Amino acid sequence: MSRTALRICPLCEATCGLTLTLADGAVTGARGDREDVFSRGFICPKGAAFGALDSDPDRLRGPLVRRAGRLREATWEEAFDAITAAVPALVREYGAQSVGVVLGNPNVHTMAGALYPPLLLKALGTRNLFTASTLDQMPKHVSSGLLFGDPFAIPVPDLDRTDFLLLLGANPVESNGSLCTAPDFPGRLKALRARGGTLVVVDPRRTRTAALADRHLAPRPGSDALLLAALAHTLIEEKLAAPGALEELSQGIGELGAALGSFTPEAVSPACDLTAAEIRTLARELAAAPTAAVYGRIGSCTVEYGTLASWLVDVLNILTGNLDRPGGALFPLSATAPPGRPAGPGKGFALGRWSSRVGGHPEAKGELPMAALAEEIETPGEGRIRALLAVAANPVLSAPDGDRLDRALAGLDFMVSVDPYLNETSRHAHVVLPPPPPSRSAHFDFAFNGFAVRNQARYSPAAVPLEGEGMDECEIHARLILAVSGLHGAPPEAVDERVIADTLARAVTDPHSPLHGGDPQELARLLNGTTGPERRLDLMLRTGPYDLTLDDLRQAPHGIDLGPLRPRLPGVLKTRSGRIELLPDPIAAELPRLRAALAERPAALVLVGRRHLRSNNSWLHNVPALTGGSNRCTLHVHPHDAERLGLVDGGQARITAEGGSLEVPVEVTDAVRSGVVSLPHGWGHDRAGSRLSVAAAVPGANVNQLLDGTRMDRLSGTAVLNGFPVELTPLP
Ligand SMILES: Nc1nc2c(c(=O)[nH]1)N[C@H]1C(S)=C(S)[C@@H](COP(=O)(O)OP(=O)(O)OC[C@H]3O[C@@H](n4cnc5c(=O)[nH]c(N)nc54)[C@H](O)[C@@H]3O)O[C@H]1N2
Ligand SMILES: Nc1nc2c(c(=O)[nH]1)N[C@H]1C(S)=C(S)[C@@H](COP(=O)(O)OP(=O)(O)OC[C@H]3O[C@@H](n4cnc5c(=O)[nH]c(N)nc54)[C@H](O)[C@@H]3O)O[C@H]1N2
Ligand code: SF4
Ligand SMILES: [Mo]
């Protein structure tokens, strides 16, 4: 008997609604849910392969525990016993800092990853937190923290209404968008052009997104901050800046002109390898457009001046009057957003409240740079990381210098991986706790509803009930928290009930909460939901801005549309001044370095990454339906460079950078500009002890082995993964 069930796709930030076909508890097909209020039937090849991924025979069915050096199948009881026996003792002997936590990308795609890691960190009391953010969007958090006082106040382009989109370092036709949740991003870009709007793409590669654009500029990688500074400079110099009402709301607007004084189009032109005329034209078009949005992503973040570039993106949105207005860049308001507060001065955002032990890297948003994880494990002394809890993370492939990290992980006293696969990272764990396949878990998108181009709320309960040995990932997290606290054996529901009680106690005394004045016990009884996480979702909806409950979402399986994005200033501001702080001190202090970069001689050859529609970071190479074809780990080289270096299409090359060298197959293509080569990340599945039979057959090379982890965006601790110098030699 076959039936269907709805599930929000967890495989990228677009959060499409899928209709799964199920037979005998297995997902036999997936198509786009045409009635989904947000995605309207859109699906991509990854979503279509949901069933194959869900039933991958290499997925772990139950926990593994290391005994006598080898990982063996174990019961959940034994797995949590092993954790409870190890972690509290280490903390007693070496202190809270001896336990590190690594949170990887899929945490933002699961309910468990949204609801429990803060509790885990609190239980441990460690500051040794490393996440995928410092390989990704931390520059955006830092610039938003400084500008708006809230690192999560990230404006998103109003894709469906804007007249002009300037997109830098993003390839949403392959990635389906990031920090801009928009199912069918390609369709929305085509619609923008169809209604007479303009799309300008800035990318050193002629991507599939660039192919859709009115204009494609291919600057030298790493030069976005310079380009954006020159655009801002031009707006000010040519008196094209028109911030409108934003001027009142901002402080520091008058000082911007002087701060950006040296970044004339002529001055940045050689570094960007764009003409001054091209830059001026772009600035004038941006100013002239009725509405416009500037949007930068990976290629503008994971570079040396990532925070400056991220800041300048919003400076441009502000100078053109486009921040917080329809058609510009707006702040979404998710259904589970905490209660608003009246406009006025807030707590502000501080950087570098503490620093990492070995490298002295300042914290950002409570995190230390992922690129500094290995040294924190390896370097002896007080506060050394001896135990690591890795949740949905594969840093051996995704962070700089995987070989070093690989050795460091092997030397840990104790490691836990919460991961469905035995892969490059989890193979070092002493305990592996596998979550069930996504068809077995419920989903509400706590993370990406906050970055969506339309406000909406959707909930999918588990499509298939958990059976046999499986344990819901929320329960795994709750039990992990209890185990590291030495409370293994306590009921996992207690973790959720504690949160609910604490939240209600605060809500009833908060005059801005819809639950103000209520009775906490009474309110707790009112909460719906058959599980702790469902009850917590219900509570967050009830305290949220739309007066929704879990029942409302259950009765609307295709979701509830909450309308287009609306202006939210000054309500979102939490800066100490209560205004937009346009030229914050840490930024002003970094500008001289950017100015000095104007005089640097660019490297002859630099490397950038790329994403493929059928791939997803390091963990989707084990699904046959998604591999092969153009989804390969090849080095893209421009024909001019190939000729100069004696490389041929289909040949092999040795590529060398400061962190090491790799042998890679060469693909000669003019899709990448000259002076730039491109290699995708997430490959290198050739380490013994992994259980990834499909991926291991075509392992590819780990691009991050070219890095030694020393290159970072200083303000955010984000690793430089794009635009670093490499050398190439042909191999026979
Ligand atoms: N050179 C280079 N490096 C990069 C990038 C780049 O552009 N270039 N991109 C960076 C970016 S943006 C990111 S976000 C990082 C990503 O790097 P990571 O944060 O390491 O994430 P993934 O590589 O996606 O690996 C995810 C892990 O989670 C596991 N997993 C999958 N689903 C689940 C689940 O439901 N629950 C749990 N508990 N585990 C699950 C997978 O098996 C895998 O081990 O990589 C970064 N690395
Ligand atoms: N299919 C697929 N989708 C994904 C992922 C995946 O691995 N595969 N990963 C997901 C994750 S974790 C994330 S964070 C998002 C990322 O989503 P996007 O930000 O759209 O990421 P990319 O597709 O890597 O696009 C980055 C672009 O930046 C360009 N670039 C490199 N250096 C520079 C530079 O210095 N300046 C400029 N202007 N451009 C530069 C690259 O050529 C590349 O085309 O994608 C998500 N979606
Ligand atoms: S675009 Fe993203 S969310 Fe939509 S089906 Fe594809 S992988 Fe899933
Ligand atoms: Mo990412």
At 476-489, the pLDDT tens digits run: 999 999 999 999 88
pLDDT in tens, 148-160: 999 999 999 999 9
Please list, in sequence order, all residues whose beta carbon lies within 8 angstroms of the beta carbon of residue 324, skipping any fewer than 6 positions away. Answer: 155, 246, 330, 331, 567, 568, 569
Per-residue pLDDT, 37 = 98
pLDDT, one tens digit per residue, over 117-133 is 999 999 999 999 999 99
**Does position 103 have pLDDT exceeding 90, yes or no?**
yes
Contact status, residue 111 vs residue 442, Cβ threshold 8 Å = yes
Lowest mean pLDDT among 22-26, 227-231, 239-243: 22-26
Does residue 709 have its Cβ closer than 6 Å to ligand 1? no
Measuring CA to CA, how many Å separate 309 from each of 19, 79, 222, 294, 305? 39, 45, 9, 11, 6
- β-pair partners for 693: none
Closest CA to 44 of 33, 31, 60: 31
The residues lining ligand 3, judged by C-beta closer than 6 Å to any ligand atom, are: 9, 11-12, 14-16, 43-44, 46-47, 176, 183
pLDDT at 343 over 90: no
**Range with lowest mean pLDDT among 94-103, 175-184, 508-517:** 508-517
Instruction: State the Cα–Cα distance between residues 109 and 495, nearest whole angstrom.
Output: 21
Retrieve residue 448's tokens.
């990406």
CA 118-120-365 angle, to 5 degrees, is 40
CA max distance for the chain: 77
Q: Which two tokens stand for residue 140?
A: 């955006």
Q: What distance in Å separates the CA atoms of residue 187 and residue 205, rounded to the nearest whole number? A: 21
pLDDT of residue 316: 98
Q: How many A from CA of 566 to the centre of ligand 1?
A: 32
Distance CA 506, CA 485 (A): 24
Q: For the residues 603-612, what does the mean pLDDT come to?
A: 98
Most informative mutation of 8, 43, 175 for ligand 3 (most atoms within 8 A of CB): 43
One-letter amino acid of 326: P
Q: Is 135 in the pocket of ligand 1 (CB under 6 A)?
A: yes
The pLDDT score that the predictor gives to residue 338 is 87
Angle at 427 between CA 89 and CA 467, to 5 degrees: 90
> For residues 513 and 341, what is the distance between their CA atoms, to the nearest angstrom?
9
- Which amino acid, residue 325? R
Does 340 score more than 90 pLDDT? Answer: no
Nearest listed ligand to the Cα of residue 622? 1
pLDDT in tens, 347-359: 999 999 999 999 9
Sheet of 215-217, strands arranged across:
215-217, 198-202, 164-168, 293-296
Alpha helix (H) residue ranges in 395-453:
395-398, 402-410
- Mean pLDDT of all residues belonging to the chain: 97
Q: Ligand 2 within 6 A of 613 CB?
A: yes
Return left, alpha or beta for 401; rule: phi > 0 is left, psi -120 to 50 is alpha, else beta: left
Query: Cβ(12) to ligand 2 under 6 A?
Result: yes
Query: Quick one: pLDDT band at residue 5, thresholds 50, 70, 90?
Result: very high
- Predicted pLDDT at 508: 95
Domain boundaries, the chain: 2-54, 64-126+386-445+459-557, 138-335+570-596, 603-731
Tokens read off for 404: 């070093």
Question: Does the C-beta of 110 come closer than 6 Å to ligand 1?
Answer: yes
Yes or no: say if 631 and 614 are a contact pair by the CB < 8 Å rule: yes
The dihedral built from the CA positions of residue 668, 674, 676 and 680, taken in this order, carries a sign that is negative
Q: Indicate whether 412 pLDDT > 90.
A: yes
pLDDT tens digits for range 642-699: 999 999 999 999 999 999 999 999 999 999 999 999 999 999 999 999 999 999 999 9
pLDDT tens digits, residue range 170-222? 999 999 999 999 999 999 999 999 999 999 999 999 999 999 999 999 999 99
Q: Which atom in ligand 1 lies closest to the alpha carbon of residue 421? A: 42
| Cα(105) to centroid(ligand 4), Å | 6
- Cα 16 to averaged position of ligand 3 atoms, centre (Å): 5
- The CATH topology of domain 603-731 is Barwin-like endoglucanases (2.40.40)
User: Is the bond preceding residue 570 a cis peptide, omega within 30 degrees?
Assistant: yes
Residue nearest to atom 1 of ligand 2 (CA): 613
Is the CB of residue 294 below 6 angstroms from any atom belonging to ligand 2? no
The H-or-E segment that residue 131 falls in is strand 129-131
Structure confidence at residue 341 (pLDDT): 78
Q: What is the mean pLDDT of residues 422-430?
A: 98
Instruction: Give the pair of three-digit tokens for residue 473.
Output: 């990932």
pLDDT value at 364 more than 90:
yes
Structure tokens given for 394: 């594969």
Q: What is the DSSP string of 516-539?
A: TT--HHHHHHH---SSHHHHHHHH
CA 707/CA 728 separation, integer angstroms: 15
CA of 17 to the centre of ligand 1 (A): 22
* CATH tag, 2-54: 3.30.200.210
Q: Helix H segments across 302-442?
A: 306-319, 373-378, 395-398, 402-410
The percentage of residues in the chain with a pLDDT greater than 90, rounded to a whole number, is 97
Q: How far apart are CA 696 and CA 680, in angstroms?
A: 17
Give dist(CA 203, CA 167) in Å, integer. Answer: 9
Alpha-carbon distance 176 to 185, whole Å? 6
User: What architecture (CATH level 2) is domain 64-126+386-445+459-557?
Assistant: 3-Layer(aba) Sandwich (3.40)
Instruction: Return the ligand number nearest the Cα of 398.
Output: 1
Nearest ligand to the CA atom of 131 = 1
Q: What number does the ligand 2 atom closest to the CA of 617 have?
A: 7
End-to-end CA distance of the chain: give it in Å, rounded: 57
Contact call for residues 444 and 544 (beta carbons, < 8 A) = no
Q: Can you give the pLDDT at residue 393?
A: 98
Amino acid at 446: F
pLDDT above 90 (res 468): no
Residue 137 CA: which ligand 2 atom is closest? Answer: 14
User: What pLDDT does 321 receive?
Assistant: 98
- Which residue puts its alpha carbon closest to atom 37 of ligand 1? 392
Q: According to the model, what pLDDT value does residue 660 have?
A: 96
Q: Give the position, in ligand 1's atom list, of the atom nearest the Cα of 418.
A: 38
| Of 717, 722, 611, residue with least CA distance to 13 | 611
- Please state, in angstroms and rounded to a whole number, the distance separating the CA atoms of residues 678 and 669: 10
The CATH number corresponding to 138-335+570-596 among 3.40.228.10, 3.30.230.10, 3.90.1150.10, 3.40.50.150 equals: 3.40.228.10
Q: What percent of the chain has pLDDT over 70?
A: 100
pLDDT at residue 469 in the model: 82
Q: How far is CA 678 from CA 13, 304, 724, in A?
A: 23, 18, 11
Q: How far is the CA of 12 from the centre of ligand 3 (A)?
A: 5
Task: Kindly report, residue by residue over 36-75, the tens digit of the pLDDT.
Answer: 999 999 999 999 999 999 999 999 999 999 999 999 999 9
Question: Which ligand 2 atom lies nearest to the CA of residue 613?
Answer: 1
